[in-house]
Structure 1
Amino acid sequence: MNRLLIVDDNPEIRKQLKWGLSGDYSLLFAEDRKSALAHFQRYQPAVVLLDLGLPPAAEGVSEGMQTLEEILDRDPFCKVIVVTGRDEKDHALQAVSLGAHDFYAKPIDLTEIRIILQRVFYLARLEEENDRLQQEQQTCGRDSGLLGQCPQMLEVYKTVRKVATTDVPVLVLGESGSGKEMVARSIHCQGLRRDKPFIALNCGAIPETLLEAELFGHEKGAFTGAIKKVLGKIESAEGGTLFLDEIGEMSPALQVKLLRFLQDKIIQRVGGRADIPVDARIIAATNVDIHQAIENQSFREDLFYRISVVSIELPPLRERGDDILLLANLFLSRYATEFNKRIRSFSTAAVRSLYEHDWPGNVRELENKVKRSVVMSDRSVISPDALGFSAPREDEESTREGTTAVPGEMDLDGLTLREARSLVERDLLLRVIEREQGNLARSAEMLGVSRPTLYDLIKKHGLPHLSQS
């Protein structure tokens, strides 16, 4: 995983990087496009440090750009950091538009290179770990989609691991779309019943008159239209797991019958009299305030204690910090592959929109928006428009806490394009750094640049005091 391919035709730079990085990474070296692609094909490094000026056209960037494109054709998720001259940022930006992860301007500074590489390898490890989790979950028959690295989700994973190998009933709490069924599937997939059925039933989506038959099954002739015996969800989950979603919507009468099953592990089909033993684990979920429901007597307190030997509460997406971007990138790679689109990233404005949105529909809403953006976008980078976000109105933006005037409020009359672009860039720097309370690492992430690039921009716009924040 720590394999780093360095592509540079300068022997002094290769020697410098070998001396400075060999203790941290397994290094591979190449001097031109042919040897770089040969090493990449054989060793599949997670990260590539690529000089754009390669022979036989070392004075230009055509060979480096071609190398970049061929590497990404082989592995679209490889992290390529391009290296350019100090005055060649247009080439670096072109490389980023082609799919490079980041760029770095010579001369080489080992301290800055180490920081960039640490961040990029950390991201590569996160993606690899999430790929591994998805593969493990797919062995259970379906991708559970339970992903994230925020502290709240790490606690969820810890609880899931503890309860998975037991048979205690579990109650999963959380807003709609936050992943309650995913938690239930993860418990089932990691537990002793993984080879048996996982049966899910949404209690809030079925009319009360039909829910009893769905749960317990019915005998032939039990009611009009019952032309044959039908097994219910409980019986179908024999040996496995029954997931009862939105259990808070279940009627009091059905709650009594479910309580009996939980106590005795016996059911009777609708229209039948025979007692039928069933061995099934129960995992329930609800997005209602269950304690308030108990106070209102719409949910039985004795049933609550039966189904919630262990409770797991899922955080809403808006409280999960960088999980928003992590999940968005995972959905992006999934649907770009599914729809055969060469889309590799989100624009800086799109990333900002992802963080600023409140996500009332949680992970389900995020997946929907990213899937739509992949289908609708004709560019290699996802914009806010493709995600369905409109640009904020000037009055909203100007009153947002911790921001200064927005570009739309600037007087740009009489300026050249270069001057106007510089003014907008300077204003964006000030707004993002102020909003992030001077945290340059976070500001660089929000702007979609490396910290060295952010330092350069701060110096370029005459804001040296910010570099000390």
Structure 2
Amino acid sequence: MESKTPDIAVFFIDDDPAVLTSAAQTLELSGFHVRTFDNAAEAIEEISPHLAAVVVVDVRMPGMDGHAFLKEAVSLDGELPVIMLTGHGDVDMAVTAMRNGAWDFLQKPVHPRQLVECVERATRHRAVVLENRAFRNSLQDQTGIRERLIGQSAGMVSLRETVAALATTDVNILIRGETGSGKEEVARCLHEFGPRKDRNFVAINCGAVPGSMIESELFGHEKGAFTGADKRRIGKLEHADGGTVFLDEIESMPLDLQVRLLRVLQDKVIEPIGGNRIVPVDIRFIAASKDDLHERALAGSFREDLYYRLHVAEIFIPPLRERHEDIPVLFRTFLSRAADRLDRPLPPVSPELDQDLLSHTWPGNVRELISAAERYVLGLPLTGSSGGKETPSPTSEGHGLQQRLEQFEKSLILRTLAAHGGSMQKTADELKIPYKTLYLRVRKYGIDKNAVKAEPD
């Protein structure tokens, strides 16, 4: 018989070695993973809300008895199933224990089938509890990611869902996106909402570091390794041990260095320049490129074996021109941040400016929009020209009048919903349209009003 919940262990606590041995054999034959303890004090050290286990504990033991263990365990996790083992005269005591949070009690000597059935029910319950907690945590993570990766376009909703799902997987990831699309922000979200969030996040732009320096930058060097190496230097990969390394513009990395990086991914060790030290490292790699690395690998300008090591999962960031409806909310967000940082008053945004923003193609993507917001706060032309205020290009590639009008309408509804915390009635009142009309527009554009959060005005 196999356990239906093989990931949930059984902690069995009893000071009688014979009972421990017999119970462990019974449960293991039924497919459970069992850990035995001959005292409760040792087991209590491992109890936490994340523990994938249930507990069977004897009531009468020297030192910390079953009741003391139960009290402590329930204080650490009120939903941990604790099954009490009692003697013939301890039934009243067991009933009291159940009132105090015990899952169930079994009377010694325990019939093997009764023990297995009771433990199986407890492990199923624990699996559901942990699954629900993981789901709630993922919702919280998505909320945090939503505040970082802003927008309600289909592309951004899909991007947030992908980032939330991959953040906890701890696999290597390749991010594709145009220059300025926000690849480093996505990488930081993958790190900060994942299991390595308390360790270092090290960002390296492979295209910005001179070829003569990048090897030392990554791997470090020993004293005297080359001219000018007057002291030992810890490389960025060693500094990132336990954390995440973000390799931006990885397509710029020289082929000989790609060989060394491949060894780090395969063997999880680094060797500083000029030394014989082998340094074990535990690193999650997130690489980013504006190019199709698979095509480059086929063309021989990027190592195919390295591509497959990095391409465990891939994330694509849509360019800003493909999510015009996000532009007004993004612009206001960046405007508010720029006003705070530059200590300037927040300027108003007119409908005419919104239309100018929507009609521009934004070749520099989010980075260009951030720059435009900063210039607008300073009273400078949006495009950075030295003359009078320039209007962005009035044409939108591939978009006719009807499409541009729909983009503007959708962005206006999104902006107004955000201003009113998702209230449909207040939005309809401000836009001076019937509630039913607004409802139909929201359905037409696929807007999730529950996901709309108030953004800076």
TM-score band (shorter)? 0.5 to 0.7
Alignment of 1:248 onto 2:251: yes
Q: 2:184 — aligned with what?
A: 181
Using a 3 Å threshold, how does the CA distance of structure 1 residues 133 and 388 change in structure 2: closer, same or farther? farther
Query: After superposition, what is the alpha-carbon deviation per residue over 1:280-312, rounded to whole angstroms, capped at 9, x for unaligned?
Result: 111111111212211210101111110110000
The answer on whether the counterparts of 2:175 and 2:183 sit within 8 Å (CA) in structure 1 is yes
Which of 323, 326, 338 is the aligned partner of 1:323?
326
Aligned positions of 1:123-142 closer than 5 A:
none
Q: 1:299 — aligned with what?
A: 302
Aligned-CA RMSD value: 3.8
The answer on whether the counterparts of 2:355 and 2:408 sit within 8 Å (CA) in structure 1 is no
Q: 2:405 — aligned with what?
A: 436
Q: 1:350 — aligned with what?
A: 353
Normalized against structure 1, the TM-score is what? 0.54
The answer on whether the counterparts of 2:211 and 2:254 sit within 8 Å (CA) in structure 1 is yes
Normalized against structure 2, the TM-score is what? 0.55
Alignment of 1:232 onto 2:235: yes
Which of 349, 369, 374 is the aligned partner of 2:372?
369
The answer on whether the counterparts of 1:144 and 1:186 sit within 8 Å (CA) in structure 2 is no
Q: 1:61 — aligned with what?
A: none
Q: 1:390 — aligned with what?
A: 390
Q: 1:215 — aligned with what?
A: 218
Q: Which amino acid letter does the alignment assign opposite residue 317 of structure 2? A: L
Q: Secondary structure at the match of 2:234?
A: coil
Q: 2:126 — aligned with what?
A: none
Q: 1:266 — aligned with what?
A: 269
Structure with the greater alpha carbon radius of gyration: 2
The answer on whether the counterparts of 1:144 and 1:185 sit within 8 Å (CA) in structure 2 is no
Q: Give the distance between the partners of 2:261 and 2:383, measured in 1 at CA.
A: 49
Q: Secondary structure at the match of 1:311?
A: strand
Q: Give the distance between the partners of 2:356 and 2:188, measured in 1 at CA.
A: 31
Q: 1:96 — aligned with what?
A: none
Q: 2:336 — aligned with what?
A: 333
Following superposition, the deviation at residue 214 of structure 1 comes to: 0.6
The answer on whether the counterparts of 1:173 and 1:285 sit within 8 Å (CA) in structure 2 is yes
Q: Give the distance between the partners of 2:428 and 2:147, measured in 1 at CA.
A: 35
Q: Give the distance between the partners of 2:405 and 2:414, measured in 1 at CA.
A: 9
Q: Give the distance between the partners of 2:415 and 2:150, measured in 1 at CA.
A: 25
Runs of 4+ in 1 over 4 A off after TM superposition: 132-137, 382-389, 400-403, 439-448, 450-456
Following superposition, the deviation at residue 372 of structure 1 comes to: 1.2
The answer on whether the counterparts of 2:359 and 2:404 sit within 8 Å (CA) in structure 1 is no
Q: Give the distance between the partners of 1:246 and 1:392, measured in 2 at CA.
A: 29
Q: Secondary structure at the match of 1:186?
A: helix
Q: Which amino acid letter does the alignment assign opposite residue 347 of structure 1? A: S
Q: Give the distance between the partners of 1:443 and 1:186, measured in 2 at CA.
A: 25
Following superposition, the deviation at residue 275 of structure 1 comes to: 1.1
Q: Secondary structure at the match of 2:245?
A: strand
Contiguous gaps of at least 5 residues in structure 2: 1-139, 417-426, 434-457
Q: Give the distance between the partners of 1:286 and 1:440, measured in 2 at CA.
A: 31
Which of 130, 155, 158 is the aligned partner of 1:155?
158
The answer on whether the counterparts of 2:177 and 2:318 sit within 8 Å (CA) in structure 1 is yes
Q: Give the distance between the partners of 2:414 and 2:152, measured in 1 at CA.
A: 18
Alignment of 1:197 onto 2:200: yes
The answer on whether the counterparts of 2:174 and 2:286 sit within 8 Å (CA) in structure 1 is yes
